[in-house]
């Protein structure tokens, strides 16, 4: 089991706004080069996103299905990758002062990934999570202005 956490300098609602936008999935999930809503109303239970993965000149497709959602705290996904099998990816969203602590927990469920699951694979998943959570943080912080910055700009304009 590979679990990792990251503190994001925005509110849980800002994090959820990004998680709920199917078009943004490909921007924060490591390995994907694009995404589109496939079925249902993302991220309702049973809805899915189709995504592309590029490895050199080859392009593969996969899909991610929402298995469980409890707004505004939990989003559990199953990423399906054909012959490689599938993985459970759970995102736990926690208020942390005026910030958000995001904890991701991933482990293979089915197929080759589940059969070959070991400590080395968990180490690789940890590296992937570090990058993925940093991307998620940058995206959330880019699309949602910081409260301090907004207040500072408003105050500066009022002083003129």
Q: Closest by alpha carbon to 89, among 40, 51, 57, 139?
A: 51
Angle between helix axes 119-143 and 12-19 (nearest 10 degrees) is 110
pLDDT digits (tens, 9 = 90+) for 96-152: 999 999 999 988 888 866 667 667 766 777 777 788 999 999 999 999 887 643 333
Q: Which pLDDT score is estimated for 42? A: 94
Q: Which pLDDT score is estimated for 69? A: 97
- Is the pTM higher than 0.85? The answer reads no
Q: Closest by alpha carbon to 136, among 52, 17, 42, 35?
A: 17
Q: Which pLDDT score is estimated for 1? A: 58
Cβ pair 39, 21 in contact under 8 A: no
d(CA 52, CA 33): 5
Dihedral sign from CA coordinates of 32, 36, 38, 41? positive
Domains of the chain: 2-21+64-144 (3.30.530.20)
Mean pLDDT of 41-61: 86
Q: Which pLDDT score is estimated for 147? A: 66
């Amino acid at each position: 089991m590979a679990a990792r956490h990251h503190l994001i300098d925005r509110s849980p609602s800002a994090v959820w706004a990004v998680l709920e936008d199917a078009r943004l999935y490909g921007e924060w999930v490591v390995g994907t080069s694009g995404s589109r809503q496939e079925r249902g109303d993302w991220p309702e239970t049973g809805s899915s996103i189709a995504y592309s993965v590029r490895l050199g000149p080859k392009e593969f497709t996969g899909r991610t299905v929402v298995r469980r959602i409890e707004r505004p705290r939990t989003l559990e996904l199953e990423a399906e990758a054909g012959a490689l099998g599938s993985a459970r990816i759970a995102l736990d969203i926690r208020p942390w002062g005026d910030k958000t602590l995001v904890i991701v927990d991933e482990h293979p469920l089915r197929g080759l990934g589940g059969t070959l699951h070991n400590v080395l694979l968990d180490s690789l998943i940890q590296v992937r999570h570090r990058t993925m959570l940093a991307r998620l943080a940058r995206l959330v912080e880019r699309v949602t202005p910081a409260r301090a910055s907004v207040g500072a700009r408003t105050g500066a304009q009022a002083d003129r």
